[in-house]
Amino acid sequence: MDQRDEQEFAEYFAAKRDAVRRTAYMLCGDWHKADDLAQTAFVALHRRWKKIRDRAATDAYVRKTLVRAVIDESRRPWRREWQTEVLPEPAPDGPGLAERVATKEDLHAALREVPPKQRAVLVLRFFEGLDVSAAAKALGCSEGNVKSQTARGLANLRQVLDREVEANG
């Protein structure tokens, strides 16, 4: 790449790295994995940067690469981690914040129990704010597939959250 392309990529990376990292976290539920997945997406983008004609489609390309990386990673059984009941991070202080974080943690834990493709659809649709057609384009599937995966994912998410409410009140 020439100097101008490197500069454009650096500017894009600086503007989007936090958003891509947050999306990766929503997809996988682990900040360390999210960093690795975001890096994978940006490395793939860097390799193809010169070939991308429509810079407006760059976000969609990164999102699609990120989702594929998450799904690929979930298929590798030797890389799976064991979940533990105790988190290594200390719990945050403050009554209002504690309730919000508990709710977020419950949601993230429930999302981790939803199958990867359904999780990807839920994150793209409800956390990234994409409509059905944009999510279908990002995932490389039909709109009908996105709709059915959304319905199944929401049903699975409700089931997991209901189980959590019954168990812990």
The pLDDT tens digits of the residues spanning 81-104 come to 556 677 656 555 544 444 544 577
The first and second tokens of residue 14, run together, are 């600086």
pLDDT per position as a tens digit, 48-71: 998 888 888 899 999 999 999 988
Q: Which residues contact 103 (CB under 8 A, 6 or more apart)?
A: none
What is the residue extent of each domain of the chain?
A: 1-75, 96-168
147 pLDDT band, cuts 50/70/90, is very high
Report helix, strand or coil for 9.
helix
Tell me the CATH architecture of domain 96-168: Orthogonal Bundle (1.10)
pTM here?
A: 0.54
pLDDT of residue 110: 85
